[in-house]
Amino acid sequence: MKHETIEKNVGLLMLLMVLAVSIGGLTQIVPLFFQDVTNKPVEGMKPYTALQLEGRDIYIREGCVQCHSQMIRPFRAETERYGHYSVAGESVWDHPFLWGSKRTGPDLARVGARYSDDWHRAHLYNPRNVVPESKMPAYPWLVTAQVDSSHTETKLKVMRTLGVPYTDADISGAVDSLKGKTEMDALVAYLQVLGTAIKSKR
């Protein structure tokens, strides 16, 4: 078949393009479903607590994912700065995953336990108090806003249907565990758990 015949027949051209893309996509994607390294959590990883899960939702709501990635690529410059490169098993229970695609601020994949809770609180309240040249906006309302726990049980149930190993006790005790907690508490709890499943920091 001559290429002119394909190029002049738009329907045939589109069909062949879809076929080529489908074969290429299936060749790359399908094998990943059968590799344990991509669909099993890293050893010792625990699901987010109710507070951490609410903090993750606040992280998304406030747009943090627009400026911070959570994916350390396996390049020397990145591993020397941020620590061990990201592995698929760390994101198995993240729905949706928050790898990000832009770094206006630093990568946060290994920020857990790197700074104290007080440092995070000061930084979120007004970043320039801690890092004078920071472009990050301030989030002072997080200090007084109480965590909305009205949907927490439902969130945990949905996560369980997606494969996150939450127990009935985790779900039934979720609301009580959030009593008196602020959005600042939740966001700091989430940040402090990031990257802690991988033991090698640098």
Verify that 78 and 164 share a domain, yes or no: yes
Verify that 16 and 84 share a domain, yes or no: no
Mapped onto helix, strand or coil, the DSSP state of residue 77 is helix
In a domain, 199, yes or no: no
Verify that 66 and 164 share a domain, yes or no: yes
Opening angle at CA 49, ends 118 and 200, nearest 5 = 70
Contact 47, 181 (CB under 8 A): no
In a domain, 123, yes or no: yes
Domain range holding 149?
A: 42-193
- CATH number, domain of 115, equals 1.10.760.10
Contacts of 87 (CB under 8 A, 6+ apart): 37, 42, 198
pTM (2 d.p.): 0.83
Total domains present in the chain: 2
Verify that 165 and 92 share a domain, yes or no: yes
- DSSP-derived letter for residue 114 is T
* pLDDT, one tens digit for every residue, the chain (202 residues): 688 888 888 999 999 999 999 999 899 888 877 777 667 888 889 999 999 999 999 999 999 999 999 999 999 999 999 989 999 889 999 999 999 888 999 999 999 999 999 999 999 999 999 999 999 999 999 999 999 999 999 999 999 999 999 999 999 999 999 999 999 999 999 999 999 988 755 5
Measuring CA to CA, which residue among 60, 63, 38 is closest to residue 48?
A: 60
Separation between Cα atoms, residue 202 and residue 182, nearest integer Å = 32
Verify that 86 and 186 share a domain, yes or no: yes
In a domain, 74, yes or no: yes
